[in-house]
Structure 1
Amino acid sequence: MAGLLKRIINTPNAPKAIGPYNQAVAVENTMYLSGQIGIDPATSKLVEGIEAQTTQALKNIGAVLASQNIGYENVLKTTVLLANMSDYPKVNEIYAEFFKTNYPARAAYQAAALPAGALVEIESIAILGEVRTVSPSQKL
């Protein structure tokens, strides 16, 4: 019986895990990215403010994606965790700078607390390899 292949993914271009987890794990052609917060990988420090943290979290996601030669267009699903739901409009504005078209599915929640005192955390699921988008009327 052949099993599925699982690959651990870590890149020095994104922050090191601050717990017993990896930046991402791929099973076959699906990659599950751990939640990213606004830690600057160069300093290992959390950047200040919701805008800077959202931007850095999305850059960190981009670094993990780039380590596998894919980009934001390969992301199928994200979950956004916010310390304060009133930051949702600001996060949406910055999110749209990274996900420009064919947006991934998404959920957003307010959390009681996030790691390292972060204001936002974003996790995602991506597909490895070429992704083509079809029109809504086309069958898959």
Structure 2
Amino acid sequence: MTVVNTKNAPTAIGPYIQGVNTGKMVITSGQLPVDPLTGMMSAAIEVQTFQSLENVRAIVEAAGLTVANIMKSKIFVKDLNDFSAVNVAYEAFFAKYGAPFKERSSIEFAQFPKDAKKEIEAIAVV
């Protein structure tokens, strides 16, 4: 098992790692919608969704896989009223990388670090 770490995703803001590669799968920690270059976060839920997915992609790619290898994602969202906007950004992200949609779960969650509106984690399979 190897730790996955990349400068192309935000550094962890707590005592955890960006991801782990077991040799058969890559598991990412929850990715806030923070731009790793600027440290900033958009207020728009669509932009936040896309950025969290880009951060997941960066970790998966650092482990040598692609978006197409993502088999499962969990979307934690602060307000389920934002769900249609999240879906639009989620669909656009996977379309951009020519990857089919995978299994996912969506969970409403009360509060995130940095007052983000959402967080996404994923499992990619070799």
State yes or no: 1:107 paired with 2:105: yes
* Cα drift, residue 45 of structure 1: 2.3
> Which of the numbers 72, 95, 101 marks the counterpart of 1:77?
72
Q: In the alignment, what sits opposite 2:41?
A: 46
> Which of the numbers 20, 25, 28 marks the counterpart of 2:20?
25
Of structures 1 and 2, the larger Rg is shown by: 1
In the alignment, residue 28 of structure 1 is paired with which amino acid?
A: G
Q: Which runs of 5+ in 2 are unaligned?
A: none
C-alpha separation in 2, matches of 1:55 and 1:29: 26
Percent identity reads 35
More helix by share: 2
TM-score (norm 1): 0.83
TM-score (norm 2): 0.91
| CA distances 1:42-90 after superposition (whole Å, capped 9, x unpaired) | 1222222211111111111111122123211100100000000011101
Higher RCO, 1 or 2 (CA under 8 Å, sep at least 6)?
Answer: 2
Greater mean deviation of Cα atoms: 9-18 or 58-67: 58-67
> Which of the numbers 8, 13, 28 marks the counterpart of 1:13?
8
Length, aligned pairs only: 123
Q: Which runs of 5+ in 1 are unaligned?
A: 1-5, 129-140
In the alignment, residue 31 of structure 1 is paired with which amino acid?
A: V
In the alignment, residue 127 of structure 1 is paired with which amino acid?
A: V
CA contact (8 A) 2:21 2:63 kept: no
Matches within 5 A, 1:78-97: 78-97=73-92
Divergent runs of 4+, >6 A: none
CA contact (8 A) 1:72 1:98 kept: no
Q: In the alignment, what sits opposite 2:52?
A: 57
